[in-house]
Amino acid sequence: MHTLKRQKNGWKGALVLKLDVSKEYDRVEWSLLSGMMAERSGDLVGFKCNKLGPKISHLFFVDDIMIFTRASVRDCHAIKNVYNVYSKASGQRVNFQKSAMCVSRRVSKRMVVALAMIIGVLLVDGNSSNSYLWRSFLWGQEIVLVGSQWRIGDGTSVQSLKLANGGWNEVLIRESFFPEETSLILSIPFSFRPTPDKLVWHFDKFGSYSVRSDYHLAMSLFPNPSSSGISEAESWWKYLWQMHVPAKVKLLIWRACHDWVPTLLNLAKRGVNVAHLCQSNLSTRTISNSSESSWQPPEDGLVKVNTDVAIDKVCGIIIRDNFGEVLASSAHQFFAQYPPTMAEAAVVLRGLYFVRDLGLLPCMVKTDAQMVVKTIEADKVPLSDLGLIIGDIIMFLGDYSGCSVVFTPRKNNTAAYGLAKIGLSISCDLFWMEEVPPSVVPFVKGDYPGRV
């Protein structure tokens, strides 16, 4: 629209047409319409926003179609023919009352009227800063900005805040940022793979943008969008997003206003069984039926690694051989409190590297975080921070044959959980070779009586 407004050279005129399809967005035959537009690509040549950019002839939105072409009688007849054929083939109709057309300022008024009569749509002023079409673009841009965030990859873009070993420079970060910002920064993981920063969609747990998610976000921010002015609700949200406070504060307010804060009440409303949960330790662990009724030693030639997390901030790892003998164990603290699933994935990755550094590969890692195992086995790696850790796990399993990550019920993971609880009272990582601390010995004996 900016290009249309500023056009001075080139064609004698350009045209933008917005067609509103009367059916719901999930019923529009996009594949059919896209094929018809492709067949007409010779008639609808589109136009460029700049010299180096591609030509754009059409864009599909939820239930709208935008067509970009020359402001000529021939092109308008071609457009009319496309939607007439499409309407007959699909049974869907164009809502001309909600459709609109605007042209560049080089088109004569006489030609503008003629083109509008051919297509049969309302003419809007594309050169006005208050045009409906331009306001729609700005409104959509605002929604995308609210829902987007950058995911750090391997940390190349924040190298000055990293240590030589690849971790965060905690001392420097605490000196440079406020406490609440420090906690958030330290909870961001780095990938061990060469991974660039990526713009991801915040309102999807996998970081993937979808029209459905965008629509729900827009409706929650602007329940009754108006083309005639800004409502009181819109003014309030606009004021909120422009406030000079940390982004997490604004996001918390937004979530609280829409009942998206995972309180026990909201979890119960969404069908989550909260009877066994306390407010200080909401866990995502899932207990499912398993053929393994108790802890079992691995096959000959493998070591078994059990990992677990406590309070989403500390973790425990225990490595045992096919005789049930303890080869090594450890307790660690994370720099910051991770989300539950991310913490479980992080300790799985740490367990894999622990075994590798000890030269004990191949191994089988057992975790009671079923979501982590399902995400590893999924066809698509999430774009979120969790996806960075999952991607590193998948890369490790590909580099070292014979290694695997398997779900186990929590009752078979008590030794790792006992080690994790020790992490609550330590200030540094602890390691034990061929033994476990005394408080964990009963769990190991219970797993495999007679072996410690």
- Indicate the number of domains in the chain: 3
Is the Cα dihedral 422, 426, 430, 435 positive or negative?
Answer: negative
Q: What is the DSSP letter of 54?
A: P
Looking at residue 38, its pLDDT comes to 55
Q: Are residues 339 and 234 in the same domain?
A: no
Q: DSSP labels for 245-295?
A: S-HHHHHHHHHHHTT-S--HHHHHHTT---TT--TT----------S--S-
98 CB-side CA count, 13 A: 14
Sheet strands (E) in 92-184:
94-103, 122-123, 148-151
In a domain, 134, yes or no: no
In a domain, 63, yes or no: yes
In a domain, 328, yes or no: yes
Q: Are residues 98 and 162 in the same domain?
A: no
Q: Are residues 421 and 317 in the same domain?
A: yes
Q: Beta-carbon neighbour count of residue 119 at 10 Å?
A: 22
In a domain, 274, yes or no: no
- Which of 224, 239, 257 is the C-terminal boundary of a domain? 257
Q: Are residues 308 and 442 in the same domain?
A: yes
Cα→Cα distances 47→53, 57, 105, 348, Å: 9, 7, 15, 51
Q: Tokens representing 223?
A: 């329940």
Distance separating alpha carbons of residues 137 and 283, to the nearest angstrom: 41
Q: Are residues 440 and 312 in the same domain?
A: yes
- Which of 196, 223, 257 is the C-terminal boundary of a domain? 257
CATH number at residue 28: 3.30.70
Element (H, E) at 36: helix 30-39
Q: Tokens representing 38?
A: 């492709």
In a domain, 218, yes or no: yes
Residue 445: CB partners within 8 Å, gap ≥ 6? 451, 452
Element (H, E) at 141: helix 132-147
Distance separating alpha carbons of residues 391 and 411, to the nearest angstrom: 28
Residue span of the structural domain in which 232 resides: 147-257
In a domain, 285, yes or no: no
Helix axes 385-399, 370-377, angle to 10 degrees: 70
Direct distance between the N- and C-terminal alpha carbons of the chain, in angstroms, rounded to an integer: 72
Task: Match 């007679």 to its residue by tokens.
Answer: 450
User: How buried is residue 428: exposed, middle or buried, by Cβ count under 10 Å (0-12/13-18/19+)?
Assistant: exposed
pLDDT 10s per residue in the chain (452 long)?
555 555 555 556 777 888 777 654 444 555 555 555 555 555 666 666 666 667 777 777 766 788 888 888 888 888 888 877 877 777 777 777 778 787 877 777 778 777 877 877 776 665 555 555 556 666 777 778 778 888 888 888 888 888 877 778 888 888 888 887 887 888 788 787 788 888 888 888 778 888 788 877 877 766 554 444 445 556 667 777 778 888 778 888 877 877 677 777 766 655 566 554 544 443 333 333 345 678 888 888 899 999 999 876 788 999 999 888 999 999 988 766 678 888 899 999 999 999 999 999 999 999 999 999 999 988 788 888 888 889 899 989 988 889 999 999 988 899 999 898 887 777 788 899 999 999 889 888 888 765 54
In a domain, 135, yes or no: no
Q: Are residues 440 and 331 in the same domain?
A: yes
CATH number at residue 326: 3.30.420.10
Q: What amino acid occupies position 42?
A: G
150 CB-side CA count, 13 A: 10
Element (H, E) at 371: helix 370-377
Checking phi first, is residue 231 left (phi over 0); if not, alpha (psi -120 to 50) or beta? beta
User: How buried is residue 255: exposed, middle or buried, by Cβ count under 10 Å (0-12/13-18/19+)?
Assistant: middle
Distance separating alpha carbons of residues 219 and 235, to the nearest angstrom: 15
Task: Match 């691995």 to its residue by tokens.
Answer: 298
Q: Are residues 231 and 319 in the same domain?
A: no
Burial 381-408, CB ≥16 within 10 A → b, else e: bbbbbbbbbbbbbbebbeeeeebebebb
* Length of the chain counted residue by residue: 452
In a domain, 93, yes or no: yes
Q: Are residues 175 and 94 in the same domain?
A: no
Q: Are residues 108 and 168 in the same domain?
A: no
